[in-house]
Amino acid sequence: MNRPFIINFKNYGEASSAEKTLELAMAAQDVAKRLGVEVVVAPPQPALALVCKSVDIPVVSQHIDDAQQGSTTGFFVPEIAKLYGASGSLINHSEHRIGVDIIASLVKRLRSLQMTSIVCARTPDEVAAISKMEPDFIAIEPPELIGSGRAVSKENPAIITDSIKAAGGRSKVICGAGITDESDVAKAVELGSYGVLVASGIIKAKSWPDKIAELAQGMKKIS
C-alpha cells in the first residue's frame, strides 16, 4: 500500500446488507482497475471475509483488538483478520478510540504479520506521538469535520501540513473528514497527503460508481 484511497463503509445502513456491501466493494474495484488508483475498502466487520474473497483490491478491517487468539470471545484479532484475507486495519478511529499502549502493541503485531497499520489521529500532536510507533500510515481526521461535508483539506489545510511535519517521515500521512468531491481530494494531495480516508462522502452518494470515480480523479493528480 503506497497512496491509498480508503473507503470506510462504517455501519451505514446504505451499505450494511451483504448484497449492498459487495455492490460497493465491486464498484470500488472497478474504479481502481479502470483508473489505476489504489482504492482500499473497509467493509463492516461481519462482511470482511466475504469482501476479501470477492475482490482483488486491498481490504482492511475497520477496527482490530489487542487480544490473543484463543479464549477471547467477541474480540477480533489480527491473526484472524489476516486469515480472512485482510491487508491491514484502521486503528484508533475517532469513533473507536483506544489507548496509546494498545495502539503501540497493535502496530507491532500488524508489522509482524506483514499487515498494514493505519492509525487515526485528531491533532498534529497526536500524529507526533503516534509516529514514534512507526505505523505505515497516520490518518489525520479532525473530529469536528467528520461527516460534515466540509473537507479538512479546505477548512483546515494547516492541520495536514503540520501533521506531515509532525510525522517526520516516520509514517506516511493521509487525511480524512468531510471529503466529498474531486477538488477536496486534489487539494489534500497537493498539500502532501499520501491519500485520503472517505466514508459518508461516498456511502451517501446517489451513485457509488460515479462518486468513487470522481474522487479517484483527485488521486490521479499524484499517481
Q: Is 216 annotated as a binding residue?
A: no
- Is residue 61 part of an annotated ligand binding site? no
β-bridge partners, 176: 197
User: Order of strands across the sheet with 88-91?
Assistant: 39-42, 5-8, 196-198, 172-176, 137-140, 116-121, 88-91, 60-61
Residue 178 annotated as lining a ligand binding site: yes
Beta strands in the chain (DSSP E): 5-8, 39-42, 60-61, 88-91, 116-121, 137-140, 172-176, 196-198
Annotated binding residue 92: no
Query: Which residue numbers are catalytic?
Result: 93, 141
Maximal CA-CA distance, the chain: 48
The one-letter amino acid at 117: S
Taking the C-alpha atoms of residue 18 and residue 124, their distance in angstroms, rounded to an integer, is 37
Residue 8 annotated as binding site: yes
**Sequence ranges of the binding site for substrate:** 8-10, 146, 178, 199-200
**Sequence ranges of the binding site:** 8-10, 146, 178, 199-200
